[in-house]
């Protein structure tokens, strides 16, 4: 008696097509199953600290342009990305020069590392100086002009998020984002204000969270991104924790500081960019004599909306 042919495992089946499509719309259909399209495995988000892009940006010989913190190859992503939904860059503008950008993003978050100048966008001119934070809308041309000295800025967008959907950003007028300027002096005042308050066991850290009049109810800087300037007093650490949002961190200031990310020690260096993968246990440590500052962008607003942030401390209060 002949053996019956073995059945193919569902997981090994290729994409299926209509047997007898009646028209082009039916012919475009593809069919998968719960074996080959459920719980899809993609390359993980690498934990990484970008030091070389920061050094290049601060090198006086580097010409005007952008330097991306790109991990797309490691994530098998067809477009530039630092994490699946965010892209960080350093922007360099030579003295007296200009740099144009037109991000296909909901908006762009800028931090001024060095130099002063003007950012022109959506009919407004924002005069910037070191330590300032700027928010510019997506879908609009942005022109960054440096003054008498070269300007270096750090910029994060959600371009990868829109690239997944091949979507266009909101129009500059009437969208959720319009130009916002957060001057360094006001940021410093806000930091001292929160230091005059107390915390409790559930407080995640000592940080200033940035928002705007249009997004005040959501307490976010963009509909899907959050921005915070975190601090660590000398000789302290932020308790180990995890969350489902990915995080991109700019080292703003601190001596003898490091982060532990998924069991790996990442020593800080000036203006380096640290990537914390989603869900990775991590903590931040300040072994120096002064307060540490670090700017963090997360796709947290997306997770807040989806109710999937999953924030949890992993160690008890000292």
Question: pLDDT tens for residues 201-218?
Answer: 888 889 999 999 999 999
Residue 10 falls inside a structural domain: no
Q: How far apart (Å, rounded) are the C-alpha atoms in residues 197 and 206?
A: 10
Residue 273 falls inside a structural domain: yes
End-to-end CA, the chain: 73
Backbone angles phi, psi at 188, to 5 degrees: -60, -40
Residue 33 falls inside a structural domain: no
Give mean pLDDT, residues 188-205. 89
Of 243, 239, 240, 238, which Cα lies nearest the Cα of 226?
243
Write the CATH number for 278.
2.60.120.10
Give mean pLDDT, residues 22-48. 91
Q: How far apart (Å, rounded) are the C-alpha atoms in residues 17 and 266?
A: 48
Residue 107 falls inside a structural domain: yes
Arithmetic mean of pLDDT over the chain: 94
pLDDT digits (tens, 9 = 90+) for 100-141: 999 999 999 999 999 999 999 999 999 999 999 999 999 899
Q: How far apart (Å, rounded) are the C-alpha atoms in residues 250 and 154?
A: 8
Share of the chain above pLDDT 70, in %: 99
Residue 31 falls inside a structural domain: no
Residue 296 falls inside a structural domain: yes
Q: How far apart (Å, rounded) are the C-alpha atoms in residues 101 and 66?
A: 9
- When divided into structural domains, the chain yields a total of 1
Residue 293 falls inside a structural domain: yes
| Structural domain containing residue 85 | 48-198+205-313
Q: How far apart (Å, rounded) are the C-alpha atoms in residues 179 and 79?
A: 26
pLDDT digits (tens, 9 = 90+) for 64-86: 999 999 999 999 999 999 999 99
Ramachandran sector of residue 252 (left: φ over 0; alpha: ψ -120 to 50; beta: rest): alpha
Strand order in the sheet with 226-232: 48-50, 273-276, 247-253, 292-298, 226-232, 206-209
Strand partners, 109: 135, 156
Q: How far apart (Å, rounded) are the C-alpha atoms in residues 301 and 113?
A: 25
The confidence score (pLDDT) of residue 57 equals 98
Residue 191 falls inside a structural domain: yes
Whether the full predicted model's pTM is greater than 0.85, yes or no, is: yes
Q: How far apart (Å, rounded) are the C-alpha atoms in residues 179 and 41?
A: 39
As given in the structure block, the two tokens for residue 155 are 């910029």
Q: How far apart (Å, rounded) are the C-alpha atoms in residues 91 and 110?
A: 9
**Winning range, highest mean pLDDT, from 90-94, 136-140, 213-217, 236-240:** 90-94
């Amino acid at each position: 008696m002949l053996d019956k042919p073995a059945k193919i495992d569902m997981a090994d089946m290729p994409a299926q097509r209509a047997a007898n499509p009646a028209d082009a719309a039916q012919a475009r259909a593809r069919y998968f199953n719960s074996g080959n399209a459920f719980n899809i495995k993609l390359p993980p988000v690498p934990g990484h600290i970008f030091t070389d892009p920061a050094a290049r940006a601060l090198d006086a010989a580097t010409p005007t342009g952008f330097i991306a913190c790109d991990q797309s190859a490691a994530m098998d992503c067809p477009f530039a990305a630092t994490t699946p939904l965010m892209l960080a860059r350093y922007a360099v503008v030579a003295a007296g020069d200009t740099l144009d950008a037109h991000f296909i993003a909901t908006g762009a978050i800028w931090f001024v590392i060095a130099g002063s100048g003007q950012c022109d966008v959506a009919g407004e001119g924002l005069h910037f100086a070191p330590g300032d934070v700027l928010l510019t809308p997506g879908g609009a041309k942005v022109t960054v002009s440096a003054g008498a000295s070269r300007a270096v800025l750090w910029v994060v967008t959600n371009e990868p998020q829109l690239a997944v959907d091949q979507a266009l950003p909101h129009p500059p007028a009437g969208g959720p984002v319009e130009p916002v300027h957060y001057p360094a002096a006001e940021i410093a005042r806000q930091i001292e204000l929160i230091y005059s308050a107390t915390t409790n066991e559930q407080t995640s850290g000592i940080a200033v969270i940035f928002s705007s009049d249009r997004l005040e109810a959501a307490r976010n800087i963009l509909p899907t991104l959050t921005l915070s300037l975190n601090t660590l007093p000398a000789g302290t650490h932020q308790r180990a924790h995890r969350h489902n949002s990915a995080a991109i961190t700019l080292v703003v200031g601190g001596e003898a500081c490091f982060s532990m990310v998924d069991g790996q020690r990442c020593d800080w260096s000036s203006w380096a960019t640290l990537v914390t993968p989603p869900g990775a246990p991590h903590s931040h440590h300040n072994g120096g004599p002064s307060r540490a500052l670090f700017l963090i962008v997360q796709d947290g607003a997306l997770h807040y909306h989806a109710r999937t942030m999953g924030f949890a401390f992993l160690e008890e209060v000292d």
